[in-house]
Chains A and B, each alone.
Chain A
Amino acid sequence: MIISVLQEIGDRATDMQQGDRIHAKIVEGFSENEKVEVDFSGMQTILSTFLNNAIGALYKDYDSQFLNGNLKIINLCQEDMFILQRVISRAKDFYANPESVSDALDEFL
Chain B
Amino acid sequence: MTIQIIIPKSIKSNYTGYRDLLNLASIYNICTQDTSVVLNFKENTWFDANLLPALYAIVELGRQKGVTSIYRNQHDCTLTKLFVRNGFGKHCFNLEYCPHDSETVIPFKVFKANDTYNFSHYMDDELIGYFPSMDLAVKKAISSYIQELFGNAQIHGNCAYVYTCGQYYPYYHKMDFTIVNLGRTFQENVIPYLTEMDAVLPDNSISWAVQPNHSTKRGTTGGIGLSLMKDFISYNKGKFQIISGREFWEINNGAEGKREFEQVFPGTIVNIEIDQNDTNLYIHDVPSNSELLF
Name A's B-contacting residues (CB within 8 A): 10, 12, 14-16, 44-49, 52-53, 56-57, 64, 67-68, 71, 73, 77-88, 90-91, 93-95, 101-102, 104-106, 108-109
Contact (Cβ within 8 A) B214 A71: no
Q: In the complex, which of the residues A68, A81, A108 has the most CB atoms of chain B within 10 Å of its own CB atom? A: A108
Contact (Cβ within 8 A) B120 A16: no
CB-CB < 8 A to B155: which residues of A? 16, 49
Interface residue from A16, A45, A108 paired with B214 (Cβ < 8 Å): A108
CB-CB < 8 A to A52: which residues of B? 220-222, 224
Contact A45-B140, Cβ < 8 Å, known A12-B120, A82-B285, A85-B286: yes
Contact (Cβ within 8 A) A88 B213: no
Decide if B170 is an interface residue (CB 8 Å cutoff).
Answer: no
How many residues in B have their beta carbons less than 8 Å from beta carbons of A? 43
| Stretch with Cβ within 8 A of A (4 or more), from B5-13, B92-100, B142-150, B259-267 | B142-150
In whole angstroms, how far apart are the Cα atoms of A102 and B223 in the complex?
Answer: 15
Q: Supply 9 A–B pairs (Cβ within 8 Å), ascending by A.
A: A45-B147, A47-B144, A48-B225, A52-B220, A73-B293, A83-B144, A85-B287, A86-B228, A90-B221
Q: What per-residue 1/0 map shows which CB atoms of B124-160 lie under 8 Å from chain A?
A: 1000000000000110110110011001000100000
**Interface Cβ pair total, 8 Å cutoff:** 116
Decide if B116 is an interface residue (CB 8 Å cutoff).
Answer: yes
In whole angstroms, how far apart are the Cα atoms of A15 and B220 in the complex?
Answer: 14
Q: What per-residue 1/0 map shows which CB atoms of B189-210 lie under 8 Å from chain A?
A: 0000010011110100000100
Say whether chain A's binding surface is mostly helix, strand, loop, or mixed.
helix
Contact (Cβ within 8 A) B213 A79: no
Kindly report which residue of chain A lies nearest to residue B201, judged by CB atoms. A109
Contact (Cβ within 8 A) B225 A47: yes
Contact (Cβ within 8 A) B151 A49: yes
Contact (Cβ within 8 A) A47 B148: yes
Contact (Cβ within 8 A) A44 B124: yes
Contact (Cβ within 8 A) B199 A106: yes
Interface residue from B114, B141, B211, B213 paired with A90 (Cβ < 8 Å): B213
CB-CB < 8 A to B197: which residues of A? 101-102, 105
In whole angstroms, how far apart are the Cα atoms of A67 and B194 in the complex?
Answer: 32
Contact A86-B147, Cβ < 8 Å, known A105-B214, A106-B200, A109-B202: no
Contact (Cβ within 8 A) B137 A77: yes
In whole angstroms, how far apart are the Cα atoms of A50 and B138 in the complex?
Answer: 19
CB-CB < 8 A to B198: which residues of A? 102
In whole angstroms, how far apart are the Cα atoms of A49 and B145 in the complex?
Answer: 11
Decide if B292 is an interface residue (CB 8 Å cutoff).
Answer: yes
Contact (Cβ within 8 A) A56 B144: no
Contact A87-B221, Cβ < 8 Å, known A79-B141, A106-B200: yes
Kindly report which residue of chain B lies nearest to residue A12, judged by CB atoms. B120
Which residues of B240-294 have CB atoms within 8 Å of chain A's CB atoms? 284-287, 290-294
In whole angstroms, how far apart are the Cα atoms of A36 and B231 in the complex?
Answer: 33
Query: What is the minimal beta-carbon distance from A97 to any residue of chain B, in angstroms?
Result: 12
CB-CB < 8 A to B148: which residues of A? 47-49
Query: What is the minimal beta-carbon distance from B164 to any residue of chain A, in angstroms?
Result: 15
CB-CB < 8 A to A78: which residues of B? 137, 284, 286
Interface residue from B147, B284, B286 paired with A47 (Cβ < 8 Å): B147
Q: What per-residue 1/0 map shows which CB atoms of B90-129 lie under 8 Å from chain A?
A: 0000000000000000000000001011011100100000
Kindly report which residue of chain A lies nearest to residue B141, judged by CB atoms. A79
Kindly report which residue of chain B lies nearest to residue A51, judged by CB atoms. B224
Query: What is the minimal beta-carbon distance from B215 to any residue of chain A, in angstroms?
Result: 9
Contact (Cβ within 8 A) A87 B137: no
In whole angstroms, how far apart are the Cα atoms of A81 and B117 in the complex?
Answer: 21
